[in-house]
Amino acid sequence: MKIPLLDLKAQYGSIKSKVDNALMRVVESQYFVLSEEVASLEKEICAYCGVSGAAGVASGTDALILAMKALGIKEGDFVITSPFTFFATGEAISILGARPVFADIDPKTYNLDPAKTEEVIKDMDIETRLKVKAVIPVHLYGQCADMDAFGALNEEYGVKIIEDSAQAIGASYKGKKAGSFGDAGAFSFFPSKNLGAFGDGGMVLSNDEKVIERIMELRVHGSRQMYIHEEVGYNSRLDSLQAAILRIKLNELDAWLDRRRIIAEKYDAAFSGLDLVTPFVAESNKHTYHQYTIAYSERDALLRYLGKKGISSRVYYPVPLHLQPCYKDLGYSIGSFPLAEKAAEEVLSLPIYSELTDEKIEYIIQNVTDFVKS
């Protein structure tokens, strides 16, 4: 049996006529960039996430860059984030000329640990502390970080909180949705995301009208009025074809997330007696299982074994950000963040998507169990 990590073709098959009609609607309109389609998606995502403003942009990476820029992050500022995330989180900070500063993770959820974040701030001398302008908690694998605790850091130290919600659309913490807590939330619509486009796309959400207005200006070359440029901006626009597809998918999202949770429950139950760690879900959280990620001491051998059995699995992420070659100059080394480093050695994500059949789930369970028991 062959089981891919994600089957987007099967997803497309389940909504084909609706998507095709939406695409034709855009083609007929001949409005391809921003447009009513993007404005409608922005409104719909605001309603879904319980936030007052949204701005569609070209990618999740741009969503982070533009959110920070709109919040005033600039060259020389320090921004604290997780070392255990996709590279784009750190990259967005660096692109603005700011300096990424890392703090270790909570080993249960793999999210940035707010207590360790505070320790990092407290360990700085006063002058350096004043440079810390923002913290980016990442809602990794589809589960929210501890947002009350990050809210407290905002109050105590005046740092902006930007949620990297790229993997977590629909996830909630104490009943509120990811992307609705901080000064801004950044989303990615990369095709493999739980709400994925047919190409790149992203969005910034914020309850601060000024932040959204600034991003709407920044995304079109810093311009409010055609050919008049208030500042040097970007070309970072969501296109209408992507928005039309995303509007169709948004209607299906909750049903897809429910199916992911059912699959996760099946995996949890089947793996409970095995010598591996299943995903921990904090009591305050509703997980969306963008990834179903286990931790296992002989992870690489398990990955190879599953591959031989036709089952794709993947390591998100094998090299923490503080050990990336391009961040050598930041002065970190092996041992700087032991929990992130351990996670990078042990995590493995298994196939999870709403079209995964019970037969395939059983096959995955059987093979993981056979290997771990052997």
Ligand X SMILES: Cc1ncc(COP(=O)(O)O)c(C=O)c1O
- CA nearest to 186, candidates 58, 298, 5: 58
Confirm if 77 and 131 have CB atoms less than 8 A apart. Answer: yes
Residue showing the smallest CB distance to ligand X in the complex? 60
Count of residues of this chain found to bind ligand X when the rule CB under 6 A is applied: 15
Full DSSP string of 254-299: HHHHHHHHHHHHHHHHHHTTSSSBPPP--TTEE---SSEEEE-TTH
Under the binding rule (CB under 6 A), the answer on residue 202 touching ligand X is: yes
Q: Which is nearer to ligand X, 79 or 276 (CB)?
A: 79
Stretch that binds ligand X, among 24-32, 66-74, 164-172, 255-263 (CB under 6 A): 164-172
Residue among 19, 88, 311, 356 that touches ligand X (CB under 6 A) = 88
In whole angstroms, what is the distance from residue 364 CA to residue 344 CA?
22
Amino acid at 239: D
CB of 323 to ligand X, least distance (A): 17
Beta strand segments in 31-98, E: 53-57, 78-81
Q: Does 166 bind ligand X (CB under 6 A)?
A: yes
Q: What does the alpha-carbon distance between residue 152 and residue 136 come to, in Å, rounded to a whole number?
A: 14
- The count of other CB atoms within 10 Å of the CB of residue 359 is 9
Burial of 99: CB neighbours in 10 Å, binned 0-12, 13-18, 19+: middle
Pick from 35, 85, 242, 313 the residue near ligand X by CB under 6 A: 85
Interface region with ligand X, contact rule CB under 6 A, candidates 82-90, 96-104, 142-150, 362-370: 82-90
Q: Closer to ligand X at the Cβ: 60 or 100? A: 60
Least Å distance, CB 167 to ligand X, is: 5
Q: Is 143 in the site for ligand X (CB under 6 A)?
A: no
Q: Does 190 bind ligand X (CB under 6 A)?
A: yes
Q: Which of residues 49-68 bind ligand X (CB under 6 A)?
A: 59-61
Closer CB to ligand X, residue 11 or residue 59? 59
Which helix (H) or strand (E) covers residue 333, if one does?
none
**Tokens 């100059």 sit on residue:** 329
Q: Are 163 and 178 in contact (CB under 8 A)?
A: yes
State which residue, 349 or 354, has the beta carbon closest to ligand X. Answer: 349
Site for ligand X contains 291 (CB under 6 A): no
Paired tokens of 45: 């995502």
Q: Which of residues 298-327 bind ligand X (CB under 6 A)?
A: none
Query: Tokens 């099967």 label which residue?
Result: 10
> According to the binding rule CB under 6 A, does residue 188 interact with ligand X?
yes
Q: Does 91 bind ligand X (CB under 6 A)?
A: no
* Nearer to ligand X (CB atom), residue 35 or residue 194: 194
In a 13 Å sphere around the CA of 60, the CA atoms on its Cβ side amount to 25
Considering only 71-79, 159-167, 176-184, 261-269, which stretch makes contact with ligand X by CB under 6 A? 159-167
Chain residues in the site for ligand X (CB under 6 A): 59-61, 85-86, 88-89, 138, 164, 166-167, 188, 190, 200, 202
